[in-house]
Amino acid sequence: MALAYIYKTQGQIEQANQYLALSAEIDNTEAMFFLGKSYLASNQPYHGLKISLTKNVFLNKI
C-alpha cells in the first residue's frame, strides 16, 4: 500500500490505480478497499468513472 501512496503523492495516479488493481487480483483485501474507495469517494481521483468489469469482479470478492 505504501507504493500506491508514493505514486499518488508524486501525481502518478494511474500507476497507483494499476498497483491497487494488481494487488486486488492477488486477493489483497486492503487494496480492494482502497481501489473501491478511489471510485466511490467524492474526494478521490476516479470518483464518478465507470468501473471496468475486471475491477468490479475484484471489488465484489470481499
- The domain segmentation of the chain, as residue ranges, is 2-59
In the numeric block, the cell 494499476 is attached to: 18
Residue 62 banded pLDDT, cuts 50, 70, 90: very low
pLDDT at 36 exceeding the cut of 60: yes
State CA 51 to chain mean position distance: 10
For position 2, what pLDDT does the model report? Answer: 73
In the numeric block, the cell 487494496 is attached to: 31
Residue 52 banded pLDDT, cuts 50, 70, 90: low
For position 44, what pLDDT does the model report? Answer: 59
